[in-house]
Amino acid sequence: MNATRPPLRPLDQALAELLSHAQLLAGTESVSTFDAGRRVLARDLVSPLQVPPNDNSSMDGYAVRCADVAANGEALRVSQRIPAGASPEPLEPGTVARIFTGAPVPAGADAIVMQEDTEPAGEHVVRFLRTPQPGEWIRRSGEDVRAGSVVLARGERLSSAALGLAASIGMGELEVVRRPRVALFSTGDELVMPGEVAPADMKPGAIYNSNRFFLSELLRNLECEVSDYGIVPDDREATVGALAHASRSSDLILTSGGVSVGEEDHVKPAVQQLGSLDLWQIAIKPGKPFAYGRIGDAHFMGLPGNPVSSFVTFLLLVRPFLLKLQGATQLAPRAVDMPAHFEWPRADRRREFLRVRRNGNGALELFPNQSSGVLTSVAWADGLVDNPAGRTIALGDTVSFIPLAELLA
Ligand code: AMP
Ligand code: MG
């Protein structure tokens, strides 16, 4: 039995091979900046203007010439009023201007004195309680963005802040790479759908199809156009028909279940009949079985059926693949070192991804049941510990923590 098993493949090697098959999708589209969240920029965004466009006040107060305040700070006449959005006159020598947050600083003024450092001294006259320094409370033109600079680079996956930044340089639409088209299949005769079969009506051995729900959500988070084919039909001919159909309109066909060694399943022979299929044993836990193949122009990936394995394998392999198809530059999640507030006394020969959560003291707690069938561990966790093969963990050891926020964004 062991002799027929393919050797375990290190995760990094499997990922590198997968990524070597991921070519940037041809085609871009222009979308409203409102709708561009999580999409990948197809071009550098170069700013046509300075942000902010003018020197402006960061306080409600008075625009002054410092020398005038120093000379006769006791009381100065207010010669103009400048709300945000106004175009001021140059500051009359020997006077000050009433100014509000965001309003342009008038020519000739070299500082803002905040309202709290002044008091009224008659009608249109104000007294200064301290002498300002040049530059105080002035936001300089271009201190956020310089005209001509690249604000966001091609390959940037747009965050909410990035959308605001793009808007701040006047972009109402953004050119992004087209969405990957993904066909999703679940395999397994034991699977039933929540909402279709009530818990009380479940036949012995039946389980709900949970993978379908998180996989379709994970795909949508990556801005894929998902065609959900549901559960694979339980005969060979229908399976071939469904896969052939999916291959004509998809960049990726994604299945869960049915890739374990020796398992009887319609999907494997159907993919082999239509195209090519490699079964991999990846040296990770949870995970391990994984299939990569091609049907026509479509990529094929088969995830393990165990829900935690399916979830983790998606994050480690499918996610970077889909990001690379879209031209994203940041593919790998950023891990941080953190102390373990748990013990992991039994080393595994595979690299492990343990479900953990940060506690209030800046350390990691371990979910007690790390079985690949226990989806509660993933729902509970806020990250994974990337534990190298053969490594035990003692209380207080530094481990590599990958926040789920990095992987689910
Ligand atoms: P498989 O990889 O098909 O051998 O499945 C491994 C385990 O995962 C079995 O216990 C299956 O019942 C379970 N499983 C497979 N597909 C799903 C699914 N879509 N939702 C929940 N559990 C599944
Ligand atoms: Mg199965």
The pLDDT of 102-108, averaged and rounded, is: 98
Residue 115, phi then psi, degrees to nearest 5: -50, -40
Asked whether the predicted pLDDT for residue 4 surpasses 70, the reply is: no
Question: Does the beta carbon of 211 sit less than 6 angstroms from any atom of ligand 1?
Answer: yes
Distance CA 319, CA 312 (A): 10
Three-class DSSP category at 65: coil
Task: Identify the pLDDT of residue 409.
Answer: 87
Tell me the CA–centroid distance for residue 4 and ligand 1, in Å: 23
Name the class of domain 56-139.
Answer: mainly beta
Tell me the CA–centroid distance for residue 282 and ligand 1, in Å: 18
What ligand 1 atom has the least distance to the C-alpha of 306? 8
pLDDT tens column, 294-351? 999 999 999 999 999 999 999 999 999 999 999 999 999 999 999 999 999 999 999 9
What ligand 1 atom has the least distance to the C-alpha of 263? 4
Tell me the CA–centroid distance for residue 171 and ligand 1, in Å: 46
In the chain, which residues fall in CATH 3.90.105.10? 28-47+154-177
Residue, of 40 and 70, whose pLDDT is higher: 40
Name the class of domain 336-408.
Answer: mainly beta
Asked whether the predicted pLDDT for residue 2 surpasses 60, the reply is: no
Nearest alpha carbon, ligand 1 atom 5 = 305
Tell me the CA–centroid distance for residue 150 and ligand 2, in Å: 49
Token couple for 209: 């199809």
Distance CA 151, CA 269 (A): 49
Asked whether the predicted pLDDT for residue 3 surpasses 60, the reply is: no
The mean pLDDT of the chain is 96
Which ligand is closest to the CA of 228, given by its number? 1
Question: Does the beta carbon of 307 sit less than 6 angstroms from any atom of ligand 1?
Answer: yes
Distance CA 381, CA 393 (A): 18
Tell me the CA–centroid distance for residue 282 and ligand 2, in Å: 18
Residues of the chain above pLDDT 70, percent: 97
What ligand 1 atom has the least distance to the C-alpha of 259? 2
What ligand 1 atom has the least distance to the C-alpha of 209? 20
In the chain, which residues fall in CATH 3.40.980.10? 11-25+179-325
Asked whether the predicted pLDDT for residue 271 surpasses 90, the reply is: yes
Superfamily of domain 11-25+179-325: MoaB/Mog-like domain (3.40.980.10)
Predicted TM-score (pTM) of the model is 0.94
pLDDT tens column, 144-194? 999 999 999 999 999 999 999 999 999 999 999 999 999 999 999 899 999
Tell me the CA–centroid distance for residue 305 and ligand 2, in Å: 6
Nearest by Cα to 334 from 407, 396, 230, 246: 407
Rounded (10°) CA dihedral 59, 60, 66, 69: -150
pLDDT tens column, 64-79? 999 999 887 679 999 9
Asked whether the predicted pLDDT for residue 1 surpasses 50, the reply is: no
Spell out the residues 6+ positions from residue 151 whose beta carbon is closer than 8 angstroms to its own.
45, 46, 47, 145, 165, 166, 169
DSSP state of 101: T
Distance CA 355, CA 390 (A): 18
Asked whether the predicted pLDDT for residue 375 surpasses 60, the reply is: yes
Question: Does the beta carbon of 306 sit less than 6 angstroms from any atom of ligand 1?
Answer: yes
Task: Identify the pLDDT of residue 235.
Answer: 83
Residue 260: pLDDT band by 50, 70, 90 thresholds?
A: confident
Bridge partner list, 386: 353
Distance CA 331, CA 398 (A): 24
In the chain, which residues fall in CATH 2.40.340.10? 336-408
Nearest alpha carbon, ligand 1 atom 14 = 305
Question: Does the beta carbon of 302 sit less than 6 angstroms from any atom of ligand 1?
Answer: no
Token couple for 221: 């988070």
Q: How far is CA 190 from CA 30, 186, 204, 208, 215, in A?
A: 43, 11, 9, 8, 18
Token couple for 105: 């600083």
**One-character DSSP codes across 351-387:** EEEEEEEE-TTS-EEEPS---TT-THHHHH-SEEEEE
Tell me the CA–centroid distance for residue 187 and ligand 2, in Å: 6
Q: Under CATH, which number does the domain 28-47+154-177 receive?
A: 3.90.105.10
